[in-house]
Amino acid sequence: MATAGKVIKCKAAVCWGPKQPLSIEEIEVAPPKAHEVRIKIVATGVCRSDDHVISGALSEVKFPVILGHEAAGIVESVGEGVTNLKPGDKVIPLFVPQCGKCRCCVNPHSNLCYKNDIGKYNGLLLDNTSRFTCKGKSIHNFISTSTFTEYTVVDDIAVAKIHKDAPLDKVCLIGCGFSTGYGSAVNTAKVKPGSTCAVFGLGGVGLSVIIGCKVAGASRIIGVDLNSDKFAKAKELGATECINPKDFNRPIHEVLAEMTDDGVDYAFEVIGNTGVMTSALSSSHFGCGKTVIVGLAPSSATMTFDPLLILTGRVLTGAVFGGWKSKDDVPKLVSDYLDKKFEFDGLITHKLPFEKINEGFELLRNGESIRTVLSF
Ligand code: CND
Ligand code: ZN
Ligand code: ZN
């Protein structure tokens, strides 16, 4: 491409600091260095994790930063040593990279590559620099991806090539929301046919947990949310019942225990609220229930609970990106989507031009949207 090797000037949404709207700016994106890939982002989704940074809940994230981690795009150019990607390839950036060599990557039961930037939030590529500048200032990356920009640069272990026929404005959700929820059910919980599940939080990620529970053959899937407006879509996607904690004057785990002969087989927390995490744990069966934490809690939050809850046999676990080994599994998820093994188009409730990104976040905050997909 004509732009290869050159600095690209383009539009991006810069987060200059917490508690302020994102600012659409012209930025400069330097060419990829060795083992890096420059991508033209075509579509990017608005996920709650990005909003956690804007709200100040993830206080370790360094500013200024370009957020966004759920996207699909096209390779513009590659740095030296990148052999498996070429300009024009369709790709999905990976917020959990897969180096293939570290202790987690070589363990079939883990997907959290040592090269990830979640929780550490260094906000830099692997060579400890950034390719973004704006108004003479260097701008940080966000969890190996930074997709709220027309062009981004990622390390080659943080990008997967996908099928050439993939519709980018849909499969961008495979970059986070869909895969995270779906994998939490099928990989992390390993939901069994005929089982009973409770899903706390019916946003894009929680609804994807429901899709996973249904595909796995669960016989009862109970959605729990403070916003009853979320129930219709949850039922459309596979929830068999939905309950609102506001409609009861006793703890929701007691309600669920009554509904399910002493507790569910699988409980999922998909909000990021440590109080709800304990409720989810308490809702699972005392002898054989499994609870999966999917929600991202604020930086300083801690979870406390009576250890007797797990002494009797409950299992508590969690997963980032639904337990998928990103570079290996994302291309397969895209192919499975193209082969109609599952469907998630119903998660996309809004489509907006990139410039309206702040409107996309407003729709998420006021509970109107499930996923807004922004396009350039
Ligand atoms: P979204 O905000 O769309 O959904 C959350 C839902 O929870 C909403 O429907 C709320 O009404 C509901 N809710 C809020 N508080 C309560 C409560 N106390 N009781 C019951 N319901 C409540 O968020 P999302 O679906 O985009 O993301 C959900 C979480 O998943 C969020 O914490 C996000 O940061 C996290 C996440 C995790 C991962 C991962 O890899 N583990 C990846 N992406 C996002
Ligand atoms: Zn690794
Ligand atoms: Zn996300």
What is the pTM (predicted TM-score) of this model? 0.98
Q: For residue 4, what pLDDT band results from cuts at 50, 70 and 90?
A: very high
Which protein residue has the closest C-alpha to ligand 1 atom 41? 320
The pLDDT value recorded for residue 69 is 98
Give me the percent of the chain exceeding a pLDDT of 90: 99
Catalytic residue list:
47, 49, 52, 69, 176
The CA distance from 135 to 138, in Å, is 9
Q: For residue 292, what pLDDT band results from cuts at 50, 70 and 90?
A: very high
Which of 49, 179, 244 is the pocket-test mutation for ligand 1 (most atoms within 8 Å of CB)? 49
Q: Closest Cα partner for 283 from 307, 259, 247?
A: 259
The pLDDT value recorded for residue 254 is 98
Residue 366's CB is within 10 A of a number of other CB atoms, namely 9
Which of 44, 48, 176 is the pocket-test mutation for ligand 1 (most atoms within 8 Å of CB)? 48
Mean pLDDT, to the nearest integer, of 367-371?
Answer: 98
> Contact, 134 vs 27, CB < 8 A?
yes
Bridge partners of 11, per DSSP, are 26
Question: Counting Cβ atoms within 10 Å, is residue 217 exposed (0-12), middle (13-18) or buried (19+)?
Answer: exposed
Q: Which ligand is nearest to the CA of 126?
A: 2
- Tokens, residue 168: 């980018």
Average model confidence (pLDDT) for the chain?
97
pLDDT in tens, 209-231: 999 999 999 999 999 999 999 99
Report the separation in Å between the CA atom of 361 and the middle of ligand 2, taken as the mean of its atom positions.
32
Helices and strands in the chain: count of H runs, count of E runs: 11, 17
- Tokens, residue 1: 């491409």
pLDDT in tens, 91-133: 999 999 999 999 999 999 999 999 999 999 999 999 999 999 9
